[in-house]
Chains A and B, each alone.
Chain A
C-alpha cells in the first residue's frame, strides 16, 4: 500500500521539510535523546506520543520506523489514522491482517536485525474506550513481532491498560523562536522574501503547529512575498477561520447560512465534529463575546451531547440555533443600553 503512495514533498513544503532523521526533529530535545538510546537497545518497547498538533509526533514516529527498519521501512510500517477509520472493526481487521502477514515474512526478511514491523496508530484518542480495549488484546497477541506507536493529543483519552504497556513521551508546544527559525530557514532555501512580523503572526495563528505554519508560509509566499497582508489572507483559508465564520453567522441569526457553511466544512473538507468544536472555542475566545461564560457552558453541553448523541449533524445545528439565541439576546441588551 505505502509503496503505491504518491509523495506530497514536491508540492508541499510541509512535506518537503519534514525531518527524516530523529536528530533533525525540531525542539523536543529530551524526547529525541531518550528515543535515540532506546531504539539502539535490544528491547524496543511500544510507544505512546502525546501532545498538541504540529509538535512533531508523527514525524518522530516515522523517523523511529525508518531508523528501526532501514530502507524497507515503508513496506513494514502500517500507518493508520484512527479518526478516519470510523469503527473499531476496520482498525481491528487491518491491524490483524497486517500482524498475520508479518508472521510469515519475518524469517525471509532477515536483513534487519530486528524482526518486527511497526504499526503507527495516529489520533488514537479518537478511538472509543471499547475500541481501545479491543486493541489491548491485539497488542499482546502480536507483541513478539510488532511494535505499536500510539499518537494522541490528549493522554487522558487513552485507557490505562494501553498507557501502561507503552513508553510514554509527552510532546510540548514548540516555542516561537524554534518555529520562526525553521520558517526562516525554509524562506532562505526557497528564496522567498519575508517580514519578521509576518512570521510571528503565523506562529500566533497556528499556536505553534509546525505543519500548519509552513502551509501558511507557502501560501503567502505564493502570493508574492510573506508579508503581514498575505499571511492574513492565507490564514483566512484555514478550517479554523471558516469555523469562525460559521460561528459569526450563527450569532448574527443567519441560521441557515451557517448550517450550509458547516455542512460544507464537514462534508467537503471532512472536518470532524471534535475539530469543529475545538476551532469554535479558539475562534470564540478571540471574538471577545459579552458572555464568554454562557458560550463556554453551551459548548460544554453540546460537546457532551455530540459525544453521546446519534446525529452529529443535528447536534451541531442545534448548537448553532442556541448561538442564534445568544446573539439575539446580546443585541437586545445593547439596544436597551443605547
Chain B
C-alpha cells in the first residue's frame, strides 16, 4: 500500500502549501548560491514541508541530493568520513551536489560524540550548498544556528490543508463526510503529513484521530456505514453517529425523529431497491433491534440500547455490502406519502367524532363502519352537507367527509356500474392511477 503522504509529496515548489515566504527565501538562496555561502538551517514543526522543499528544489534545479538524517549515526568520525568527500569532490561527477542534513537537533550529545562540533567546523565556508533542518531551535543547536542562516517554518494554515486534503481524496476517489474532513484538518495542527496519514487511516478503517469522541451527522454515518468495505471501519462510523435510540411515540420533535437510528436505517433500507431476501434479512435484524429499543424505553433499561447498536452494526454489515443503500430521511417518496398524510390529517378529527358516536374505537370504526358509511352516502346521492349538519360535524370534519365521499364517487360507481367496476373500486385506490402506476 502506498502511503499517501509519500505519494502526494509535491514534486514542484509551486505545488507546496503554506510557508510561502520561507519557500521564496530558500529558492532565492539556492539560485544565488556561491561557494562559501552560509548554510541554511530550516527550523519548524514536522510535516510543514522542510524536507519536501529540499528534495523538490534539488530535482528542479538539477542538483544531486545527498541526504543524511537521524537514522544515521553521526558522530565526529562518521560525519567527517561522509561529509568531507562530498565537500571535496564537488564537480568531479559533472553534477552539482546539494547536501541535506535532516534532523540536526536529533544529533545526540553522547552517542554522536563531537558530532555537532564537527558539523559546525565543516560548515565553515562549505564548497557545496548545505541545508540542515531541525524541529526546534533548542539550545543544543544554538551554536550551529550561529554558523547558519536560519529560516523558520510555521504550521500550514487549515484552509491550505483542507484544499490539499480535498485534492488527495479526489485523486484517491475516496469520499469522507465533511465532519470527518474538518476533524482531520483540525487535529493535524498544521502538519500536512500527519493530516494525510490520518485521512488514509480513516479511509482504510483505523481511526488515529486524537478526537475520537466527536459525532457524525446521522446521514453521513449511515452513508459511510453502508459505503465502507471494511467491517471495522463501517462499525466505527456507525457508532459515531449522532443518533438516538428510543420510542418515538413518546413525544418526539422533528429533530429527535431525524436522529432516530432505527427509523433512519429503516427509511434508508426501504428506499433502496433490494432483492426480497436481502430486504427480509435486513428488516428482520432491524426489527429485533427495535424490540430491544422498545424494551429499553419501556423499562428504562438503557443498557439494552447498547446491545441494539451492536446487533445492528455487526449483523447488518454482511447483508448490506454493495447493495447501494444510501441515507434517506423518508421511508416513502413524497408523491406517494404526501396524499396519504394529507388524508390522514383531515380524517383524524372526523374518525374521532364518528367513532365516539358509534361507541367504538377508531380502528373498529375505520374497518367496519367508515368505508360502508362513505359508500352508502355516495350511492344515495343525499346532500352531504345536510348529513354533516345532522351529525353535528364541525367544519374540518365536514370537509373531510365531503372529500372521502367525492373520492369514493371518483373511484367507483354511483348506481348502475358493472360488477367488475364495483369489484375494482372495492379493492380501492385507483383514483390517481397515474400516481400509483408510476411507483412500479
Query: Hey, which bits of chain A sit against chain B, CB under 8 A?
Result: 4-8, 10-12, 14-15, 53-54, 58, 62, 79, 81, 83-84, 86, 120, 122-123, 126, 206, 209, 211-212, 215-216, 218-219, 222-224, 229, 233-242, 245, 253, 255-257, 259-261, 263-265, 267-272, 275, 279, 302, 304-305, 308-311, 313-315, 317-319, 321-322, 324-325, 328
Contacts and interface: CB of A to CB of B under 8 A. Distances in A.
Interface in B351-380: 351-373, 375-377, 379-380
A15 B359 CA distance: 10
A315 B371 CA distance: 26
Nearest to B357: A8
B270 interface: yes
A255 B387 contact: no
Contacts of A259: 270, 331-332
Given A309-B291, A318-B286, A11 B373 contact: yes
B166 interface: no
A79 B422 contact: no
B366 A239 contact: yes
Interface in B234-267: 246-249, 262-263, 266
B286 A314 contact: yes
27 contacts: A6-B357, A10-B390, A11-B391, A12-B358, A12-B369, A81-B355, A81-B359, A81-B361, A81-B362, A84-B362, A123-B361, A206-B368, A218-B376, A229-B419, A234-B426, A238-B368, A260-B336, A264-B340, A269-B371, A270-B347, A272-B361, A275-B367, A279-B367, A302-B287, A308-B298, A313-B331, A314-B283
B391 to A, nearest CB: 4
List the 4 closest pairs (A to B, CB-CB), nearest first. Answer: A239-B367, A236-B426, A269-B366, A6-B392
B373 A311 contact: no
A324 B294 contact: no
Interface centre among A12, A218, A313, A314, by most chain B C-beta atoms within 10 angstroms, is A314
Interface class of chain A by DSSP:
helix
Interface centre among A81, A257, A315, by most chain B C-beta atoms within 10 angstroms, is A81
A268 B415 contact: no
Given A83-B361, A270-B348, A314-B290, 11 more contacts: A15-B357, A53-B368, A81-B355, A123-B361, A260-B336, A263-B337, A270-B362, A270-B366, A271-B366, A275-B367, A309-B290
A292 to B, nearest CB: 19
Interface centre among B348, B363, B366, B373, by most chain A C-beta atoms within 10 angstroms, is B363
Contacts of A212: 368
A310 B249 CA distance: 8
A318 B269 CA distance: 11
A233 B412 CA distance: 11
Contacts of B376: 11-12, 218-219, 222
B429 interface: yes
Interface stretch (B24-32, B87-95, B185-193, B273-281): B273-281
B367 A269 contact: yes
A58 B392 CA distance: 22
Contacts of B248: 310-311
Interface centre among B277, B368, B373, by most chain A C-beta atoms within 10 angstroms, is B368
Contacts of B419: 229, 233
B423 A236 contact: yes
B279 A255 contact: yes
Contact of A219 (B332, B366, B375): B375
B295 interface: yes
A245 B335 CA distance: 22
B439 interface: yes
Nearest to B390: A10
B297 interface: yes
A265 B409 CA distance: 19
B293 interface: yes
A122 B361 contact: yes
A211 B297 contact: no
Contacts of B373: 11-12, 215
A308 B359 CA distance: 28
Contact of A215 (B280, B368, B426): B368
Contacts of B375: 219, 222, 234, 237
Given A79-B359, A256-B270, A305 B332 contact: no
B367 A240 contact: yes
Interface string B318-343: 00000000000001100011001101
Contact of B391 (A8, A122, A216, A314): A8
Contacts of B361: 81, 83-84, 122-123, 126, 272
A268 B436 CA distance: 17
Nearest to B359: A58
A131 B97 CA distance: 89
A311 B263 contact: yes
A267 B372 contact: no
Nearest to B282: A321
B427 A236 contact: yes
Contact of B358 (A15, A126, A315): A15
B393 interface: yes
Interface centre among A4, A126, A321, by most chain B C-beta atoms within 10 angstroms, is A321
A15 B297 CA distance: 41
Contacts of A10: 390
Interface centre among A239, A271, A313, A324, by most chain B C-beta atoms within 10 angstroms, is A239
Nearest to B422: A233
B428 interface: yes
A268 B368 contact: no
Contact of B363 (A7, A245, A271): A271
Interface in B121-136: none
Contact of B276 (A12, A79, A218, A255): A255
Given A8-B357, A236-B426, A268 B367 contact: no
A328 B392 contact: no
A309 B276 CA distance: 23
A6 B368 CA distance: 19
Contact of B367 (A8, A79, A224, A271): A271
A321 B283 contact: yes
B288 interface: yes
B287 to A, nearest CB: 4
Nearest to B408: A237
A238 B284 CA distance: 29
Contacts of A279: 367
A122 B355 CA distance: 12
B344 interface: yes
Interface centre among B358, B371, B377, by most chain A C-beta atoms within 10 angstroms, is B371
Contacts of A8: 354, 357-358, 391
A136 B356 CA distance: 24
Nearest to B376: A222
Contacts of A11: 373, 376-377, 387, 390-391
